[in-house]
Chain A
Amino acid sequence: MLNFVTKRILSMLLVVLGISFLIFSVMSLSPGDPAQIILGDGASQEDIAELREEMGLNDNLLVRFFRYIWNAIQGDLGNSYRTGQAVLVELLNRLPNTVLLAIFGVGAAAMIGVPIGIISAVKQYSIIDNVTMVLAMVMTSIPAFWLGLLLMLRFALGWGVVPAIGVDTWQGYILPSVTLAIGNMAVIIRMTRSTMLEVFREDYIRTARAKGASKRSVVLKHALRNALLPIITTIGINFGIQLGGAIVVETVFSIPGLGTLIITSVRQKDIPMVMGAILFVALMICLVTFLMDILYTFLDPRVKIKKRQKQMGVI
């Protein structure tokens, strides 16, 4: 296990370093001068040149990159070009909103989507199955901004049961989470249904039925357990994507999250903020995939057995 963890941490660091260099290069080489953006379009060329020198923007790309990485290792992600505030502070202010939104959104999608997918698989080709598939198609097709506004009009303006914007209270998370959940649910429903159907065709399921196991036991104990790995993978991937910031949902519901921060920072060529945010997101996604791998070993004993068999020289 220690070997596995060490290898994964090292590969995570390499991935994060690679992504950082890619983003840094693209941001630095793309058109636009951060100094000009900071000073505004009325600034003189002398002032812009002076600010560029002050910010170290005239240094070589590699020099600037390694300087950034060296500082980042020591916990200093620099200051935002736009606001002058410490990048780490701004990210930590926004991170909880994004993480909570991802947890609620993907969590709700999983809690509702997996059971629906199971029912749909069990009742294949029934009315329930057909309705579920149509609903999944509709849910995938609905644009998030439209759905969000619709929910806002009905629940915030029409019935007044939740706030329209912001996450000042826990109720503020309801509409954005539902909006996110509906978008993610479709994928989870379909993945659950298809993996369950695949598993239903396996010999061990026929064996379980032949041995007189109840339908509930066949579905939940034998089939679901084996179908869980791809479902968990799908949920994990969706969670990772949401950690990158659900930009549309954050914009519609005025949630100060990582998504809107990244977009604003890219547009303003705020390189330290973009780098800091991408580093955060990359690390979190790597962590999520790492945790998923750990979870696999608990869900699927064959993973551990294969390793023991390898060690014993059986395979």
Chain B
Amino acid sequence: MRKSLRLFTILLTAVLLFTFSACGSTESNEPEDSHTTKSSEDPKASEGKDSITIAYNAEPVSLASYEANNLTTHSVCSNLYDTLIREESDGELVPGLASEWTYSDDNTEIVFTLREGIKFHDGSEMTAEDVVFSMNTAIASSKTARMTGSFEKMEKVDDTHVKLYLKYPYGAVESCLSNDNCGIFSKAAYEKDPEGFTRNPVATGPYKIVSWTAGESVVMEAFADYWREPAAIKNLIFRIVPDASSGLVALETGQIDVLNLPNTTDFDYIESNSKLQLSTTAANSFYFVAFNCTDGLFAENKVLREVVANAIDPEAILLGALDGQGELVNCAIPVNVKFFPQEFDGYSYNPDYAKQLLKESGFEGQKIKIPCMDVGNDLAITEVVVEQLKAVGFDAEIDMMESTAFLADVYTNGLYDICVNSYTCFINDADGIMYMRYHSDYLGGGNNFVMYNNPEMDSLLDKARSSDNDDERALAYRDACTLMRDDYVLVPILCYLNALAADADLNGIKASDRQRIYVYDFSW
């Protein structure tokens, strides 16, 4: 009797397991029949066509423009603030709060003509004093160094003109001025409550803040007195959804309308679902294998760096780590960034040559550790890199590190020989990713952590940033990339894709190279 009971229970277990697996496979095989409903129970879901809910996997750290220093915060702030110069979705720079501007002969002073009648979210009118205060606050902030590093100060000329003084002529100044770090806000509102301002900013952007529930959502509403046409969608909710799989389910149920960075494994499903749409673009971020060019194994022996450059197969990494969702890059500038050198000859995958070179290099077979961060795609990419290095004869292993430990050990203290990491360019200009990373002025301490110290490189980067001639700048950056290639400073691999999954009824959905979701461009 007991034997038959046990047999019965084993059979029952098998049936249960089959049932669970059947539940999962049924849903994924029938996307067209998926039941898509808008939840009427959730008050924060889209109600009719009057609102939009956008899911991010992280929370902004602040809503103050001068404190934004990560992609999520920049994206949220870009809906609250306007800048003197505005960047359109195609990258073109157009007049924003300034209707025009002129340069001095030496390009170190810029006079802006301010538009009149622009209102802040609290109804007060924007003045030259507000512009000067906003810009000088940004300049003084240590979190905006990337954008305002070249700015000296701003002064009022008269009620409709302000002047920006630069420390040196800077070719990327307009790109920097279009970033929300240079957003204009109300001086009076800030002075009334400087601490509270980080949660309740008063600016001129198309949306104004309604509330911020920590860990849950940031709610905004369209600014009725916006100086351009008011935004088409009245209510805007940025919702924190840490898991992309849950986010996709929430998108299908209608609980959210836009999902930032869906899983790459879901791309095919989203594209095949008629109720959804997908937009992708190469990110302004790229992954690479970097060497410590001053200390350690790869600094002492340039041939070893050449071995690695020939051992890395970026296509295999793209397929193995990112399911083919990305774009290969062959230089130190991401593909969508201005002055990316077209038709550049990068490294070639040549494992046989790498093996031969390794034997001739005098390498003694030491174990090499490859640190990487425990975030994003870093580990997946490093796993493939390690296998490729092993295939040519290196005894390599992964040293996965918590991100703060990586920043301390690798970025600040240079305690590494070789690592896998990524850079992001926060502006649409190659200076944003080249100068601070490879100029000797930024050796060590976290910026030029590859410790590349080459006067020729310094000269090229100085020339590129100070010129106002695009052709001259493009040539300088191309020469800089060539120099880095010949010196084997790092081995570029790929740019991942930034993606937006959205309700198919939304218009204007376009993935941004910097994950910027500018809701003013959207409509139902």
Q: Which residues of A contact B (CB under 8 A)?
A: 30-33, 36-45, 47-48, 50-51, 82-85, 89-90, 93-94, 125-127, 130-131, 133-135, 138, 145, 148-150, 152-154, 156-160, 163-166, 168-169, 171-172, 251-254, 256-257, 260-261, 267-269
Task: For B156, list chain A residues within 8 Å (CB).
Answer: none
Task: For A43, list chain B residues within 8 Å (CB).
Answer: 142-143, 145, 446
Q: Which residues of B contact A (CB under 8 A)?
A: 2, 5-6, 8-9, 12-13, 16-17, 20, 23-24, 27, 34-37, 39, 41-44, 61-62, 69-70, 142-143, 145-146, 195, 198-199, 213-216, 239-243, 245-247, 249-250, 252-253, 255-256, 401-405, 407-409, 411-412, 436, 444-447
Least CB distance from A35 to B in Å reads 9
B42 touches A32 (CB 8 A): no
Which of B5, B16, B195, B411 is close to A41, meaning CB atoms less than 8 Å apart?
B411
- Minimal Cβ-Cβ distance residue in B for A148: B246
Task: Tell me whether A30 and B405 are in contact in the complex, defined as CB-CB below 8 angstroms, given that A150-B24, A163-B42 are known contacts.
Answer: yes
A163 touches B41 (CB 8 A): yes
> Would you list 22 pairs from A and B whose C-beta atoms are within 8 A, ordered by A residue?
A32-B404, A32-B405, A32-B407, A36-B446, A39-B142, A39-B145, A41-B447, A82-B61, A93-B215, A127-B9, A134-B9, A135-B16, A138-B13, A156-B250, A157-B253, A160-B37, A160-B39, A164-B39, A165-B247, A165-B255, A166-B239, A256-B216
- Minimal Cβ-Cβ distance residue in B for A51: B142
Which of A82, A138, A260, A267 is close to B402, meaning CB atoms less than 8 Å apart?
A267
| Contacts across chains A and B counted by CB atoms under 8 Å | 193
Which of A40, A252, A254 is close to B240, meaning CB atoms less than 8 Å apart?
A254
A90 touches B214 (CB 8 A): yes
Which of A42, A152, A160, A251 is close to B447, meaning CB atoms less than 8 Å apart?
A42
B240 touches A157 (CB 8 A): no
Least CB distance from B26 to A in Å reads 9
Least CB distance from B523 to A in Å reads 25
Task: For B62, list chain A residues within 8 Å (CB).
Answer: 83-84
Distance A31 CA – B412 CA, assembled complex (angstroms): 11
Least CB distance from B271 to A in Å reads 18
A85 touches B214 (CB 8 A): yes
Task: For A84, list chain B residues within 8 Å (CB).
Answer: 62, 195, 198
Task: For A268, list chain B residues within 8 Å (CB).
Answer: 404
Task: For B42, list chain A residues within 8 Å (CB).
Answer: 163, 166, 168-169, 172
Task: Tell me whether A254 and B34 are in contact in the complex, defined as CB-CB below 8 angstroms, given that A32-B402, A83-B61 are known contacts.
Answer: no
13 more A-B contacts (CB under 8 A) besides A164-B249, A168-B44?
A32-B403, A33-B408, A37-B407, A48-B446, A51-B142, A135-B16, A150-B24, A154-B27, A160-B39, A165-B255, A171-B41, A252-B243, A267-B402
A251 touches B243 (CB 8 A): yes
- Minimal Cβ-Cβ distance residue in B for A268: B404
Task: For A256, list chain B residues within 8 Å (CB).
Answer: 213-216, 240
B249 touches A254 (CB 8 A): no
Task: For A133, list chain B residues within 8 Å (CB).
Answer: 9
A45 touches B446 (CB 8 A): yes
B245 touches A149 (CB 8 A): yes
A127 touches B8 (CB 8 A): yes
Task: For B253, list chain A residues within 8 Å (CB).
Answer: 156-157, 160, 163-164
Least CB distance from B81 to A in Å reads 18
Distance A125 CA – B195 CA, assembled complex (angstroms): 66
Least CB distance from A273 to B in Å reads 11
Least CB distance from B522 to A in Å reads 21
Least CB distance from B429 to A in Å reads 14
Task: For B256, list chain A residues within 8 Å (CB).
Answer: 165
Which of B27, B43, B411 is close to A158, meaning CB atoms less than 8 Å apart?
B27
Distance A158 CA – B247 CA, assembled complex (angstroms): 15
Distance A135 CA – B15 CA, assembled complex (angstroms): 12
B445 touches A44 (CB 8 A): yes
Distance A172 CA – B43 CA, assembled complex (angstroms): 12
- Minimal Cβ-Cβ distance residue in A for B441: A44
Task: For B407, list chain A residues within 8 Å (CB).
Answer: 32-33, 36-37, 41
Distance A253 CA – B27 CA, assembled complex (angstroms): 19
Distance A48 CA – B142 CA, assembled complex (angstroms): 8
Task: Tell me whether A44 and B145 are in contact in the complex, defined as CB-CB below 8 angstroms, given that A31-B409, A32-B405 are known contacts.
Answer: yes
Task: For B39, list chain A residues within 8 Å (CB).
Answer: 160, 163-164
Task: For A160, list chain B residues within 8 Å (CB).
Answer: 35, 37, 39, 253
B69 touches A153 (CB 8 A): no
Query: 5 shortest A-B CB distances, which residue pairs?
Result: A32-B404, A256-B215, A31-B405, A47-B142, A40-B69
Least CB distance from B33 to A in Å reads 10
Distance A64 CA – B113 CA, assembled complex (angstroms): 50
Distance A165 CA – B6 CA, assembled complex (angstroms): 40
Least CB distance from A42 to B in Å reads 4
Least CB distance from B491 to A in Å reads 20
Least CB distance from A122 to B in Å reads 16
Distance A37 CA – B35 CA, assembled complex (angstroms): 43
Task: For A32, list chain B residues within 8 Å (CB).
Answer: 402-405, 407-408
Distance A253 CA – B21 CA, assembled complex (angstroms): 21
Distance A45 CA – B198 CA, assembled complex (angstroms): 25
B408 touches A36 (CB 8 A): yes
A138 touches B41 (CB 8 A): no
Task: For B44, list chain A residues within 8 Å (CB).
Answer: 166, 168
A157 touches B27 (CB 8 A): yes
Least CB distance from B194 to A in Å reads 11
Distance A130 CA – B4 CA, assembled complex (angstroms): 11
Task: For B242, list chain A residues within 8 Å (CB).
Answer: 251, 254, 260
Which of A31, A138, A150, A163 is close to B404, meaning CB atoms less than 8 Å apart?
A31
Listed residue (A51, A127, A160) with the most chain B CB atoms within 10 angstroms of its CB: A160
B13 touches A134 (CB 8 A): yes
B255 touches A163 (CB 8 A): yes
Task: For B403, list chain A residues within 8 Å (CB).
Answer: 32, 267
Which of B8, B213, B246 is close to A93, meaning CB atoms less than 8 Å apart?
B213
Distance A39 CA – B215 CA, assembled complex (angstroms): 21
- Minimal Cβ-Cβ distance residue in B for A261: B215
Distance A138 CA – B445 CA, assembled complex (angstroms): 51
Task: For A39, list chain B residues within 8 Å (CB).
Answer: 69, 142-143, 145
Task: For A149, list chain B residues within 8 Å (CB).
Answer: 245-246, 249
A254 touches B404 (CB 8 A): no
Task: For B13, list chain A residues within 8 Å (CB).
Answer: 134, 138
Distance A82 CA – B61 CA, assembled complex (angstroms): 6
Distance A48 CA – B444 CA, assembled complex (angstroms): 13
B250 touches A164 (CB 8 A): yes
A267 touches B35 (CB 8 A): no
A153 touches B445 (CB 8 A): no
Task: For B69, list chain A residues within 8 Å (CB).
Answer: 39-40, 42
Distance A165 CA – B251 CA, assembled complex (angstroms): 10
Distance A261 CA – B401 CA, assembled complex (angstroms): 20
Least CB distance from B47 to A in Å reads 13
B35 touches A158 (CB 8 A): yes
Distance A133 CA – B444 CA, assembled complex (angstroms): 60
